[in-house]
Amino acid sequence: MKTGNAYFWMLTGLFLTACAVDVSGLDPASLGGNSLQAVSFENDIVPIFSKSFTGGSCSSCHTGTVPLGGLNLNPQERTTQQLRDDIVNGRIDNANVANSTILARPAGSSHVQLFDATSDDYKKIKNWILAGAPVEDFVPPTPTPGGGSGMITPTPTVPPGANTVYGTQIFAQMNGCFGCHRPGGQGAVLDLQGGNSPNIANSCANVKAKVGVVNTGNPAASLLYTKPTGLAGHAGGAGWTTANQGAKVLAWIMNNAASCTQ
């Protein structure tokens, strides 16, 4: 059995090393391009809040000590981190990004329409949400020369016979993530801890529920792989390597992210 596993992972490693992976699956054809775009919350998203539209501006109503809807979007009164945290708190729908109130309301859903789904501002905000709604700048994986737009060439290696079920291999290596990715933490939008205390089943369910975090059709584009390994922007830095922790995550996702509890 061990020999068979080793042979399987050897072939898997050769296949992944030889193939370029298109990261466009993270945003299906709605950003005006074919791949997830670089985005800066401070430079691309925050200016939208003060921009003058035909129907007014976000910050003209969402301002002051009692802002409309309880949301202050005035960059003169809120820090970049405060703006981001207020938006993430209940105004982003990771299961259906288009339903996020920070997108749907200014696009005309029970709100004066400031822009529509074809506008650059809408696409920027959507792209930012799909990138994980980071406060730091997001930079997608560097294209491989000659590989085309949004192409990366991962070269993971997986230990022969490695057990790549979520609980014993993936969750077990996330201890360093729980400081931010927990209820009330800076990265609470993705609760990797699985509640106020570590819970494998809840953590796995959270990972699967967030758009782009696990991409079974394009594993190497999964944010669970690209962010902690440094292939994509991540406030926590690159704590994992593609050859060790990242490879285990990739192997689990390649197995259709089937097992959550073992």
- Of the CA atoms within 13 Å of residue 46, those in its CB half-sphere come to 21
Radius of gyration from C-alpha coordinates of the chain: 20
Q: Say whether pLDDT at 7 is over 70.
A: no
Q: How many Cα atoms sit within 13 Å of 202 on the Cβ side? A: 13
Answer for the pair 215, 253: CB distance below 8 angstroms, yes or no: yes
Cα–Cα distance, 110 to 105 (Å, whole number): 6
Phi first, then psi, for residue 138 (nearest 5°) are: -105, 130
pLDDT at residue 156, as a whole number: 43
Give me the phi and psi of 151, to 5 degrees please: -110, 135
Q: How far apart are CA 231 and CA 132, in angstroms?
A: 14
pLDDT at 118: 92
Residues 211, 250: contact at Cβ < 8 Å?
Answer: no
Q: What is the pLDDT of residues 135-191, one digit of tens each?
A: 777 665 544 344 333 433 344 444 444 446 788 778 888 888 888 898 988 888 889
User: What is the band of 130 on the pLDDT scale with cuts at 50, 70, 90?
Assistant: confident
pLDDT at 17: 34
CA distance 128 to 203: 23
Residue-wise pLDDT for 8-42, tens only, equals: 333 333 333 333 223 333 333 333 333 567 788 88
pLDDT tens profile 143-156:
434 433 343 334 44
- Exposure class string for 238-250: b at 16+ Cβ within 10 A, else e: eebebeebbbbbb
pLDDT tens-digit map of 68-89:
989 999 999 999 888 888 887 7
Percent of the chain, pLDDT > 90?
Answer: 18
Mean pLDDT, rounded, for 97-126: 91
Query: How many Å from the N-terminal Cα to the C-terminal Cα in the chain?
Result: 19
